[in-house]
């Protein structure tokens, strides 16, 4: 297929994806929220409740990150750092990992991260949200919460994985001949 025909075909697929996304937003909006407890998490300056993470916002995005040992989670977090001001303008945003706050602070500083972090270490938070594997390991994902009065409602969640919609790098690699190939993120290049 020549370049022009390929571009038209890809544009058609991209429109189909946009149409499916619109349908997904409709289904998500109709979903019954799940009430969750006000978990006590750890932050660099002491303990913090899930309810406190909302700040003055009604919506909260929590990234379930596997911690400093995961190069993939680091890749995603590097990307969040760039869009953090935009995210924080619309909703509260925090990255949660099993690492203790001191380790989070040190790792975040080494990466230049500007977003807040909390530790779910020694809590059931990540497991209760579905981000703990059967073998006891951590899994990456996103949970979105809404505050209604004193109630905290989980309104959406999704796992993270290579090729997903939450890391633009994969979509750029898709345009390369051979896609991402056997490329894997590293902590340093």
Q: What is the CATH number of the domain that holds 39?
A: 3.40.30.10
User: Would you say residue 16 has pLDDT above 90?
Assistant: yes
Distance, CA of 161 to CA of 67 (rounded, Å): 15
**Domain contains 122:** yes
Please return the burial class of 162, using the count of CB atoms within 10 Å of its CB with bins 0-12, 13-18 and 19+.
middle
- Whole-structure pTM value: 0.94
User: Would you say residue 175 has pLDDT above 90?
Assistant: yes
For residue range 153-167, list pLDDT tens digits in order. 999 999 999 999 999
**Domain contains 27:** no
Question: What residues make up the domain containing 136?
Answer: 33-174
């Amino acid at each position: 297929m020549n370049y022009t025909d390929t571009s038209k075909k890809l544009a058609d697929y991209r429109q189909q994806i946009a149409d499916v996304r619109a349908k997904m937003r409709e289904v998500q909006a109709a979903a019954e929220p799940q009430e969750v407890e006000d978990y006590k998490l750890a932050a660099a300056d002491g303990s913090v409740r899930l309810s406190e993470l909302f700040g003055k916002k009604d919506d909260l995005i929590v990234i379930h990150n596997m911690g400093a040992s995961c190069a993939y989670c680091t890749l995603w977090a590097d990307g969040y750092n760039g869009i953090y001001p935009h995210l924080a303008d619309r909703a509260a945003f925090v990255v949660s990992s099993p690492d203790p706050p001191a380790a989070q602070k040190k790792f975040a500083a080494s990466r230049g991260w500007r977003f807040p972090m909390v530790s779910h270490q020694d809590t059931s938070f990540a497991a209760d949200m579905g981000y703990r594997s059967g073998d006891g390991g951590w899994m990456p994902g996103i949970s979105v919460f809404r505050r209604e009065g004193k109630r905290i409602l989980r309104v959406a969640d999704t796992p993270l994985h290579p090729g997903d919609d939450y890391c633009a790098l994969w979509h750029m690699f898709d345009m390369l001949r051979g896609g991402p190939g056997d490329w894997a993120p590293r902590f340093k290049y």
